[in-house]
Amino acid sequence: MAEVGSELSGVQRAAIFLLGVGETGAASIMKHMAPKEVQSVGEAMAGLSDVSNEQIASVVQEFSEKVSEVNSIGIGAGDFTRRVMVQALGENKARNMLSRVMQGNNSKGMDALKWMDARSVAGLIKNEHPQIIAIVLVSLEGDQAAQVMSLLPAEIRADVMLRIARLDLIDPTALQELDQVLEKQLGQSQKIPHTSVDGMTTAAAIMNHMDSTLEAELMDSMKEVDDELSTKINDLMFVFDNLMDVDDRGMQRLIREISVDSLVIALKGVDERVKDRFFNNMSSRAAEMLKEDLEAKGPIKLSEVEEAQKEILNIATKLSEDGEISLGDGGGDYV
């Protein structure tokens, strides 16, 4: 295993820390984590091997030093959290995350939805007003929201996505309706404060996680209703060309996670500069073999190319979320 340090991702350090605090301590900590965090850390813990006492001590010491920098009575804690999250995630992503973090214990109802499978969530909200559905989806992670969206009736998807993109401040009336939905469906009732959201960025994130065919259909439907807003969403989406913004080290890390077959299909028909970005971050032998495979590959359906590219983009997004690569500014401010 790699030595503790900059080569380890944040999720790997978290996994080592949880190993260091023991079974009971780790279980207590994980109770307060979001579903995706539990999944990511759990996978990292399962993948760890040959962790030495020195490595565990180093990570625990790092944690201790960072905790000691935070004012123990919480003065300025909000500003500290904002600065750290903006530095770690970027302005837009941090804004979305902070709107959830700063709600404290007022989002238990939405937290319950985050633990549910997409089909169950879709079943709960599919008959609600599109504005209520939009508020629910904007509160979920992008991949879960995309799965829920794909299970909603086709005739309301474009309306819901456009409503998500138009969200800025969620007003109390809409939140009261959301309270009623949660009370009726989950047996929970609670008051939720005004929440700031970046609707267009969230809409783009949901679209990024969708199947390519559904994504194209939904974009066409939205353009018929609001062409200008749909164009802005499209500009924010993370597309294959955005990989040009990934640095060399990040590209090399990404390439290690991609199957050769997927890469051959994904590179069919793309600009030479994009191909060169991959070739230049491979060994000369591997690059030559890839070029030969590309030349030998016959015609491929556009839908297959888009699916392969989507698969690679999902891998890149996962690596970015784990802190292993930086996606740069890509499409606008969305990363």
Q: Residue 302 has which token pair? A: 């556009």
248, part of any domain: yes
Which segment, 68-72, 111-115, 331-335, is predicted with the most confidence on average? 111-115
- Better-predicted residue by pLDDT, 93 or 234: 234
**Mean pLDDT, residues 36-63 taken together:** 71
Q: Residue 111 has which token pair? A: 């937290």
Q: How many Å apart are CA 139 and CA 142, to the nearest integer? A: 9
Contact 130/160 with Cβ under 8 angstroms?
yes
Q: Residue 274 has which token pair? A: 């994009």
**Mean pLDDT, residues 213-220 taken together:** 83
Q: Which of 2-11, 20-29, 237-246, 320-329 shows the lowest per-residue confidence on average (mean pLDDT)?
A: 2-11
117, part of any domain: yes
Read off the pLDDT band of 91 (50, 70, 90).
low
Secondary element (H or E) of residue 103: none
Q: How many Å apart are CA 51 and CA 144, to the nearest integer? A: 33
- Better-predicted residue by pLDDT, 187 or 41: 41
Tell me the CA distances in angstroms from 120 to 72, 125, 269, one per residue in order: 41, 9, 39
Indicate the number of domains in the chain.
3
Q: How many Å apart are CA 301 and CA 283, to the nearest integer? A: 29
- Among residues 161, 265, 165, 259, the alpha carbon closest in space to that of 216 is found at 161
Q: CA triplet 21, 23, 27: central angle to 5 degrees?
A: 95
**pLDDT exceeding 70 applies to what percent of the chain?**
65
91, part of any domain: no
271, part of any domain: yes
Q: Do residues 280 and 229 share a domain?
A: no
Q: Residue 192 has which token pair? A: 């939720």
Total count of residues recorded for the chain: 335
Q: Do residues 165 and 125 share a domain?
A: yes
Residue found by looking up tokens 């929970």 in the block: 188
Predicted pLDDT at 8: 67
82, part of any domain: no
Predicted pLDDT at 226: 87
Q: Do residues 22 and 122 share a domain?
A: no
Predicted pLDDT at 144: 85
Task: State pTM to two decimals.
Answer: 0.42
Flag whether pLDDT at 301 surpasses 80: yes
Q: Residue 72 has which token pair? A: 């123990």
Q: Which residues contact 306 (CB under 8 A, 6 or more apart)?
A: 212
Q: Do residues 232 and 245 share a domain?
A: no
Predicted pLDDT at 252: 92
Predicted pLDDT at 198: 72
**pLDDT exceeding 90 applies to what percent of the chain?**
14
Domain range for 61 is 10-69
Q: What is the mean pLDDT of the chain?
A: 74
Residue found by looking up tokens 């401010």 in the block: 333
The one-character DSSP state at 51 is -
Q: Which of 33-37, 42-46, 294-298, 322-326 shows the lowest per-residue confidence on average (mean pLDDT)?
A: 33-37
87, part of any domain: no
Predicted pLDDT at 282: 92
CA dihedral 90, 95, 99, 101 (to 10 degrees): 20
Q: How many Å apart are CA 278 and CA 162, to the nearest integer? A: 35
Which residue pairs, CB below 8 angstroms and at least 24 apart, start in 169-177?
169/194, 169/195, 169/196, 169/197, 170/135, 170/194, 170/195, 170/197, 174/131, 174/132, 174/135, 175/135, 177/129, 177/131, 177/132
- Better-predicted residue by pLDDT, 118 or 52: 118
Flag whether pLDDT at 128 surpasses 90: no
φ, ψ of residue 169 to 5 degrees: the values are -110, 135
- How do residues 161-174 score in pLDDT, each as one tens digit? 999 988 887 766 66
Alpha-helix residue ranges (DSSP H) falling in 237-325: 248-257, 260-266, 272-279, 284-296, 302-321
Q: Do residues 131 and 215 share a domain?
A: yes
83, part of any domain: no
Last residue of a domain, one of 214, 236, 258: 236
- How do residues 217-246 score in pLDDT, each as one tens digit? 888 888 888 888 888 887 777 778 888 888
For position 245, which CATH number holds? 1.10.220.30
Residue found by looking up tokens 């802190």 in the block: 323
The one-character DSSP state at 242 is G
Last residue of a domain, one of 23, 43, 69: 69
Q: Do residues 57 and 126 share a domain?
A: no
Rg (CA), the chain: 22
